[in-house]
A and B are shown apart, each in its own frame.
Chain A
Amino acid sequence: MTTASLAPVATQQLATERPESLWADAWKRMRRNRAAMVSAVFLVAITLATFGAPWIPGLADPAAQDLKLSATPPSALHWLGTDELGRDTLARLLYGGRISLLVGLVGTLVSLLIGVTYGAISGYRGGALDDFMMRVVDILYALPYIFLVILLLVFFSRSILMLFVALGLVQWLTMARIVRGQVLSLKHQTFVEAARALGASDATIIFRHIVPNTLGPVIVYTTLTVPAVILQEAFLSFLGLGVQPPAASWGTLVSDGARVLALFPWLVIFPGLALSMTLLCFNFLGDGLRDALDPQDRRDVS
């Protein structure tokens, strides 16, 4: 890791006095992007609120039913109202957000692991192996995977674990292509040749020297994968194929709320708002990171 990140920088440092690192430079650009910064703050807040929900004082138990308060509109006692069983919408929203965010993060992590490894190996080895691996990606790309996910979920257990696997497995293709492209452009650079000359094994070169240098595009794409996975979970849950009751995610809350839309509109408005805001913020953040990290887009700024 250290060799990789220091090698190209070290020569520059001789030439000029302490140039700004790529990261400091990106951070500076990022801070000027108000939408992206606000989004980041919002995302941190909502993550804290959902995962810290059990410790929020005064928050109702999301499973506690109170049939006397069945489907009441927002009030001082229940800020976002209650559902037909008298459960507090705010509590259900926060606990549901946990599942939505968790699915998004874990699904992205799975896709990241597979995509980066696959793309790095394919790009670094090149030749017939690369051809074969990319043909496989081509074929998988053409699969209408959402239908296969639906099949998987319909015919096998509808567990959260299955959902993680199914969503993670279909998201890695683009990541693999991005990483491969990066590796192709990196593998003939001198710091890689230096590592090879020092006798480093292929695995060491790929994972300690090349992969850390592909981080920029990978981070950007990761930020955009999280909302994509959250959206797909919500999509499947909306169709009744995702998270199963008594567990709830934003997708199932919207789905339940949409059924009683005409009577209790707050049951669809608030979960829909939470979901849309979170997705919007991830997208703003991803856009901001791309502008900050992707050197190609810098021409816009200058």
Chain B
Amino acid sequence: MTSLLIRRVLLMVPTLWVIATLTFFMIHAAPGGPFQSEREIPEAAKQQLNAKYGLDRPLGEQYVSFLIHAVRFDFGPSYKFPARQVREIILEALPVSAELAGWALLLALVFGVPFGVLAAVKQNQRLDYAAMGAALAGVSVPNFVLGPALVLGLSLTLFLFPPALWQGPMSRVLPVATLATAYVAYIARLTRAGMLEVLRQDYIRTARAKGLSERAVVFKHALKLGILPVVSYLGPAAARVVMGSIVIETIFSVPGLGRYLVNAAFNRDYTLVMGEVLFYATMLMVLNLIIDVAYTRLDPRVEAA
């Protein structure tokens, strides 16, 4: 357990370093400096700006100082909004994105697992086919198609929910539902597959032979193992929810990390882009680590291997 933990943490360091380095050099190799898209500035002012942001120093020196600051989660001020630190912007947007992603993941588990179990228990019956057909459709419809469709139907026609923004509980419904659908569907599929695998094992037959009720067999004995694929999917799911939230935040004008990232990308706000990418990367890796640790707790066989 501890050796796994140490190895994983050690693997995170080079990964983060690779990302930081790639980001840094990609941005510096990109055509056009951050101040060139603005209107014509006098040469002297440009030099001052460059000096202020340290862009006049040799590249190697800039790189080292960038790394040192990045370790402390300090990316300097935003290029676009010089009065604000990148760190500030990220910390302000984080709770919004975290809430959106958290609700979506919770919804995915609460609906996905029971549907999957139901489909597995009723394997090859009409209910199974219906649930799995719906799940495949849910996986296939992209969130940026589903989002506008839901807005069109529930908000512009039936006036049930506000079509955009992030104010009050009702405004949460559409963004969260749009983001969660694909994961509800995917988790239902995973649960079904996991349960089918477990339900034909000997210990389940033993449990049935003991005379346990079907409910006890399914929920007490089978689900414990059958849910493992879902647990191991939670890491990638978290990553994808975070990625999907970029689109959702853009569609619904939610002031979270994703919308800032897209705007920063278009504004060539280099420091903000770098800060966000590194922040996302770190967050995803820590999430994955936590989930892997949880997995070894649930399934002792992993550690033996």
Contacts and interface: CB of A to CB of B under 8 A. Distances in A.
A199 interface: no
A276 B277 contact: no
A143 B140 contact: no
Contacts of B246: 239
Contacts of B243: 144, 146
A168 to B, nearest CB: 18
B273 interface: yes
A138 B15 CA distance: 9
A155 B27 contact: yes
B144 A276 contact: no
Contact of A276 (B14, B140, B239): B140
A280 B133 CA distance: 10
Given A254-B145, A272-B148, A280-B140, A143 B281 contact: yes
Nearest to A147: B277
Contact of A154 (B137, B151, B239, B266): B266
Interface string A225-265: 00100010011001111000000000100110110011001
Interface string A289-302: 00000000001100
A82 B89 CA distance: 41
B4 interface: no
Nearest to B246: A239
Interface in B13-38: 14-15, 18-19, 22-23, 26-27, 29-31
Given A151-B27, A235-B142, A276-B142, A287 B265 contact: no
A145 to B, nearest CB: 10
A43 interface: no
Contact of B152 (A142, A240, A251, A265): A265
B142 A231 contact: yes
Contacts of B288: 142
A239 B247 contact: yes
A254 B148 CA distance: 9
Interface residues of B, number: 49
Nearest to A300: B196
Given A142-B285, A142-B288, A258 B140 contact: no
Contact of A261 (B19, B148, B196): B148
A141 to B, nearest CB: 9
A223 interface: no
Nearest to B157: A265
B142 A147 contact: no
Tell me the interface secondary structure of chain A in the complex.
Answer: helix
A147 B250 CA distance: 16
A150 interface: yes
A258 B22 CA distance: 34
Given A142-B11, A239-B250, A240-B266, A148 B144 contact: no
A156 B281 contact: no
B284 interface: yes
B188 to A, nearest CB: 14
B140 A255 contact: no
A241 B247 CA distance: 12
A262 B148 CA distance: 9
B90 interface: no
A139 interface: yes
Nearest to B267: A154
A254 B149 CA distance: 11
Given A144-B277, A240-B266, A272-B149, A262 B30 contact: no
Nearest to A135: B11
Interface in B25-75: 26-27, 29-31
B284 A272 contact: no
B142 A279 contact: yes
Contact of B18 (A143, A240, A275): A143
Interface string B270-287: 000100110011001100
A103 B94 CA distance: 33
A200 interface: no
Give the 8 A-B residue pairs with the shortest CB-CB distance, closest first.
A155-B30, A272-B145, A280-B140, A279-B140, A154-B265, A258-B148, A276-B141, A238-B144
14 contacts: A142-B284, A142-B288, A144-B239, A144-B243, A144-B281, A147-B277, A151-B27, A155-B31, A255-B144, A257-B148, A268-B148, A272-B142, A275-B142, A280-B136
Interface of B: 11-12, 14-15, 18-19, 22-23, 26-27, 29-31, 133, 136-137, 139-142, 144-145, 147-149, 151-152, 156, 196, 200, 239, 243, 246-247, 250-251, 261-262, 265-266, 268, 273, 276-277, 280-281, 284-285, 288
Given A238-B144, A258-B251, A276-B142, 8 more contacts: A143-B15, A148-B19, A151-B27, A234-B144, A272-B149, A275-B145, A283-B136, A299-B200
